[in-house]
Amino acid sequence: MSQSEDNLLKKVIAHAKEYGYVFPSSEIYDGLSATYDYGQYGVELKNHLKQYWWQAMVRMNENIVGIDAAIFMHPTTWKASGHVDAFNDPLIDNKDSKKRYRADQLIEEYVSKIENKIAKEEGKAAKRFGDAFDLDQFRGTNPRVLQYQSQIDSINQKLKESIEQGALQDLKALIEELGIADPVSGSRNWTDVRQFNLMFSTELGSVAGESGKIYLRPETAQGIFVNFLNVQKTGRMRIPFGIAQIGKAFRNEIIARQFIFRMREFEQMEMQFFVKPGEELDWYQEWKEKRMKWHQALGLGSENYRFHDHLNLAHYANAACDIEFKFPMGFKELEGIHSRTDFDLKAHEQHSGKKLQFFDPSEDKSYVPYVIETSIGLDRLFLALLSKSYTEETLEDGSERTVLKIPAPLAPVKAAILPLVNKDGLPEKARQVFDQLKYHLLCQIDFKDAIGRRYRRQDAIGTPFGITIDHQTLEDDTVTLRDRDSMVQERVQITQLTSVLLEKCSLQQLLKQL
Ligand code: GAP
């Protein structure tokens, strides 16, 4: 992470805490590592993000319905899904610092340092050659870049092989061969690599021991698979159709870090789309496009998104990619789109002894559908939005402001009602305006301090509109409506205010772009 990227992340974390978005969990006890609570504005933003996803998936697609499955599931679910046997990360400890790391991530970080060197070479050459610079040609011919690239390819190949073969000793050998040191202490004194299962377990009721062992779900998807037939039959759904769900998931990540990017308790928004076998790759393409469009409608800048196609596919997938977003720490996974074949439904058929098939009248036969999955982390989406909305500006008069430019349909508080002075009947008028708007939009009345300071406070929490009540309001029943981003003010009739704000703050503004 460059210094400015690191700074931005730090600023976002501090701002989120100071302005009621995200607090460290149980802070009065010094917090709990990588666990966060969403504050009064954070919860509103999170709810709006959920609505944006739910409406785009469930309301706007007649063949997608939603469910809300329990977090606890029968333990055989996780045997069938492969999580008991294979949901592991390779961990390694440094004997001197006693710090624990994911062995594969240490190697990936080493690779990304070489990638940064390539980027530096490219940057220097682009400056040198100006308009005549041809990036592809440079990459294909520059000896230093070619050497770096061949180093990367060789490391990636060894990493891939050792992970696929579960050869933990090879992973350690690679770490030693590359001379990777503990990022904290600089020590190269490593333990062997061990597998670590990421599922949290607990015991059901009074039954202790292996027989009562249950897990906190590590993904919401399995709640959808086990309900496939329930929903298909009761909803009279016909292939192709989808089931969507929003809910908490838990993973005992070896290192959880980078604020809410990687946590042990997080929230997923997942959709499984059941299709006819053989048609899955067309649907996979379609969902890739649809999901990218959904992200871009947020207006955070199309240059901040990219697809990362998986070259190493999980054993159950026949295609997979990530939508990556340019977080303050660089491009990272925001959403996964996977063509999961019939792996999950078939595995649940085998373990439960129940048929999970669809009778297709057009074919006059039953089959286990194939599945396209879209899976996005709500907390990561929150971080994406917050970090791109965070803006520091110097205004024309030389003063500075920090403003969260959150799109109005997603902003926690839609309007701040601000009586110019706290007398002359203006507070009472402000209360009337609040009472008019409260059925439709979350608003705040703020009486304290000079109007400029109140605007700054609302800018910092991202309130898109300021409604100022002044003496003219008492004469002609108009208010000024101030736009957070342009700071332009217009005079609006109070009778028009509800419809004007509803129009500007409606989720339809985003959904209509899809
Ligand atoms: N059902 C498929 C599945 O769970 P995944 O790639 O492991 O796939 C999907 O997770 C999404 O969940 C990721 O793209 C990411 O946004 C989010 N996610 C995964 N682990 C997370 C964590 N520890 N903290 C926050 N979000 C996480």
CA 22/CA 385 separation, integer angstroms = 13
pLDDT at 1: 60
CA 73/CA 197 separation, integer angstroms = 18
Residue 246 above 70 pLDDT?
yes
pLDDT at 493: 97
- The response to whether residue 375 sits with its C-beta less than 6 Å from ligand 1 reads yes
CA 382/CA 325 separation, integer angstroms = 12
Distance 376 CA to ligand 1 centre (A): 7
Residue 501: CB partners within 8 Å, gap ≥ 6?
A: 414, 415, 437, 440, 441, 465
CA-nearest residue, atom 16 of ligand 1: 377
Nearest ligand 1 atom to alpha carbon 375: 9
Q: What are phi and psi of 129, to 5 degrees?
A: -90, -15
CA-nearest residue, atom 25 of ligand 1: 262
pLDDT at 255: 81
Q: Place 211 in a pLDDT band, splitting at 50, 70 and 90.
A: confident
pLDDT at 101: 93
Average pLDDT over residues 177-183: 95
pLDDT at 210: 67
- The response to whether residue 219 sits with its C-beta less than 6 Å from ligand 1 reads yes
Q: How far is CA 291 from CA 56, 285, 305, 323, 413, in A?
A: 10, 10, 11, 9, 27
374 touches 271 (CB < 8 A): yes
CA angle 38, 9, 337 (to 5 degrees): 70
Residue 509: burial class (beta carbons within 10 Å; 0-12, 13-18, 19+): middle
Distance 249 CA to ligand 1 centre (A): 9
Average pLDDT over residues 30-51: 96
Tokens read off for 187: 């020590």
- The response to whether residue 253 sits with its C-beta less than 6 Å from ligand 1 reads yes
Distance 282 CA to ligand 1 centre (A): 24
- The response to whether residue 323 sits with its C-beta less than 6 Å from ligand 1 reads no
Average pLDDT over residues 42-69: 98
Out of 259, 333, 337, 374, give the residue to mutate to test ligand 1, the one with the largest number of ligand atoms within 8 Å of its CB.
333
255 touches 101 (CB < 8 A): yes
Average pLDDT over residues 176-186: 94
pLDDT at 208: 65
- The model's pTM: 0.91
502 touches 51 (CB < 8 A): no
CA 61/CA 230 separation, integer angstroms = 19
Distance 378 CA to ligand 1 centre (A): 9
240 touches 62 (CB < 8 A): no
Residue 136 above 80 pLDDT?
yes
Residue 13: CB partners within 8 Å, gap ≥ 6?
A: 22, 259
pLDDT at 254: 84
- The response to whether residue 372 sits with its C-beta less than 6 Å from ligand 1 reads no
Q: What is the pLDDT of residues 260-269, one digit of tens each?
A: 999 999 999 9
Average pLDDT over residues 205-226: 88
Distance 374 CA to ligand 1 centre (A): 11
Nearest ligand 1 atom to alpha carbon 378: 16
Average pLDDT over residues 56-81: 97
- The response to whether residue 221 sits with its C-beta less than 6 Å from ligand 1 reads yes
- The response to whether residue 268 sits with its C-beta less than 6 Å from ligand 1 reads yes
Tokens read off for 408: 């109005």
Q: Place 13 in a pLDDT band, splitting at 50, 70 and 90.
A: very high
CA-nearest residue, atom 15 of ligand 1: 377
* 416 beta partners: 444, 466
Residue 290: CB partners within 8 Å, gap ≥ 6?
A: 514
Residue 460 region, left (φ>0) first, then alpha (ψ -120 to 50), else beta? alpha
Nearest ligand 1 atom to alpha carbon 220: 1
CA 237/CA 41 separation, integer angstroms = 38
Q: Place 207 in a pLDDT band, splitting at 50, 70 and 90.
A: low
- The response to whether residue 222 sits with its C-beta less than 6 Å from ligand 1 reads no
Residue 312 above 90 pLDDT?
no
Q: Place 160 in a pLDDT band, splitting at 50, 70 and 90.
A: confident
CA-nearest residue, atom 7 of ligand 1: 219
CA-nearest residue, atom 18 of ligand 1: 377
- The response to whether residue 263 sits with its C-beta less than 6 Å from ligand 1 reads yes
- The response to whether residue 247 sits with its C-beta less than 6 Å from ligand 1 reads no
Q: Place 314 in a pLDDT band, splitting at 50, 70 and 90.
A: confident
Residue 2 above 70 pLDDT?
no
| pLDDT more than 90, % of the chain | 89
Q: What is the pLDDT of residues 184-195, one digit of tens each?
A: 899 999 999 999
What is the distance in angstroms between the CA of the first residue and the CA of the last residue of the chain?
34
Out of 46, 266, 288, 313, give the residue to mutate to test ligand 1, the one with the largest number of ligand atoms within 8 Å of its CB.
266
Residue 275 above 90 pLDDT?
yes
CA 5/CA 7 separation, integer angstroms = 5
Residue 427: burial class (beta carbons within 10 Å; 0-12, 13-18, 19+): middle
pLDDT at 310: 87
Nearest ligand 1 atom to alpha carbon 251: 23
pLDDT at 256: 74
pLDDT at 506: 97
| pLDDT more than 70, % of the chain | 98
Nearest ligand 1 atom to alpha carbon 253: 23
The amino acid at residue 334 is L
Residue 320: closest CA among 302, 304, 340: 340
Mean predicted lDDT score pLDDT of the chain: 95
- Taking 3-state DSSP, the helix, strand and coil percentages for the chain, each rounded to the nearest 5, stand at 45, 25, 30
219 touches 233 (CB < 8 A): no
Q: What is the pLDDT of residues 456-490, one digit of tens each?
A: 999 999 999 999 999 999 999 999 999 999 999 99
